[in-house]
Amino acid sequence: MASKTSIFLTGATGYLGGSVLQRLLTHPESSSFEITVLVRNAEKAKLLETFGVQTITGSYSDLDKLEVAAASSDVVFAIADCDDVAAATAILKGLKKRHIKMGTVPILIHTAFPLGVLVDNAEGKYATDNLYSDLDIPKIETLAPEQPHRQVDMAIVAAGEEGFVRTHIILPSTIFGIASGPLFDKGICNPHSIEIPCMIQIGWDRRESGMVGPGKNIWPLVDIDDTADLYIILFDRAREDPTVSHSRNGFYFAENGYYTHYDLAKATGQTLVDFQRATSAEPTPFTAEELEKYFAGSAFFGTNSYCKADRSRALGWKPIKTTQDMLDSIKPETMTLIKSGRIADPYKLKTVFGRYRDTY
């Protein structure tokens, strides 16, 4: 009888982590998986267990738990805080122990974000032409260690080069769309992304859509279902073929188009007009006071991030949803936020981007 594949996943109750977990539970080989997830909330842990998932109650601060769980796993999906060096180090320590004990080379699929690691200081004034391809590793390696997420990425690549783990880093763009499935229907996982809902909430609060500067900066985008599909495609290929690009060459962007922040803000503005929350669809620049109020002083939403998912597509990933789909998603997302009562909570971005206030 073939042994089961032990999987450890972090971020299970989140938007992306929940979407990946949903696919693992419905995978054609799911009966051969033993899935363990890290969960802060004990009630959600109990609900997850009804889906056949083993749970560990804890957070990224519980380094011992991370190390032990990784040491018991053939595959680790790290889909929580991509800036936590200590947590990443604990996971890598556990995977090294797995390698020493079992004589196998476990797999790590880590999540980073090109919206952090590739950004500049454009302040919304221009769109960059500085394109990064996930096939152009020498160019990726020119990124400064001070770039957001870069320190964790470098530690993971170094571990992969050491040879005790095969590391893969997926870098999703602005993810859009409302996540769905049984885990979301039960209220276990968050169905909303970060950037677009928060821009809707901020526009709702200020009664007009906003942007940093003139909003000419450009970001990539990708649908939530397309993104989760990439994780599963990579998971399947990495298990089947140890030569699939990993370690230094293991960067996989997730993008299927681009948008300027003006375009996003204008579409958000039209939605605010449709819901009679604004009188004009035309966005206005955030004031210094508003940047402090909503973003803890950071102008991160005025940065450029420009990448192409060439390696991901070569792997067989075929994303479907486009820029127009993203713009069309704003109105139904607004409706869902209104119905859930979350429309009046515009301050989540302060904790997300406040860490970048001295840089962007």
3-state secondary structure 17-72: HHHHHHHHHCCCCHHHEEEEEEECCHHHHHHHHCCCCEEEECCCCCHHHHHHHHHC
| Alpha helices, H only, the chain | 15-25, 42-49, 63-71, 85-102, 114-117, 137-140, 150-162, 182-185, 195-206, 224-240, 261-274, 288-295, 310-314, 323-328, 330-340, 348-353
Residues 283 and 245 in one domain: no
Say if 282 falls within a structural domain. yes
Residues 106 and 146 in one domain: yes
- Is pLDDT of 359 > 80? no
Residues 44 and 139 in one domain: yes
- Is pLDDT of 355 > 70? no
Residues 170 and 55 in one domain: yes
Least Cα distance to 264 among 217, 297, 318, 232 occurs for 217
Residues 211 and 273 in one domain: yes
Digit-coded pLDDT (tens) for 249-274:
999 999 999 999 999 999 999 999 99
The mean pLDDT of the chain is: 94
Residues 234 and 298 in one domain: no
C-alpha torsion sign, points 150, 152, 156, 162: positive
Q: Total domain count for the chain?
A: 2
Q: How confident is the model at residue 2 (pLDDT cuts 50, 70, 90)?
A: low
- Is pLDDT of 1 > 50? no
| Torsion angle, alpha carbons of 265, 267, 271, 277, to 10 | 30
The fraction of the chain above a pLDDT of 70, given in percent, is 95
Q: What is the pLDDT of residue 351?
A: 58
d(CA 177, CA 223): 6
Residues 159 and 230 in one domain: yes
- Is pLDDT of 122 > 60? yes
d(CA 292, CA 329): 28
> Across residues 212-239, what is the average pLDDT?
98
- Is pLDDT of 45 > 70? yes
Q: What is the pLDDT of residue 326?
A: 98
Residues 101 and 227 in one domain: yes
Q: How confident is the model at residue 201 (pLDDT cuts 50, 70, 90)?
A: very high
Read off the CATH number of the domain in which 95 is found: 3.40.50.720
> Across residues 265-284, what is the average pLDDT?
98
Kind of pairing between the strands at 54-57 and 33-39? parallel
Say if 226 falls within a structural domain. yes
Digit-coded pLDDT (tens) for 62-100:
999 999 999 999 999 999 888 889 999 999 999 999 999
Residues in Cβ contact with 290 at an 8 Å cutoff, skipping those fewer than 6 apart? 206, 210
| N-terminal to C-terminal alpha carbon distance within the chain | 55
d(CA 34, CA 149): 29
Say if 58 falls within a structural domain. yes
Residues 9 and 149 in one domain: yes
Residues 151 and 280 in one domain: no
Structural domain boundaries, residue 291: 190-221+257-305+320-353
Q: How confident is the model at residue 346 (pLDDT cuts 50, 70, 90)?
A: low
Q: What is the pLDDT of residue 296?
A: 87
Residues 211 and 139 in one domain: no
Residues 138 and 275 in one domain: no
Question: Which one has a higher pLDDT value, 48 or 151?
Answer: 48
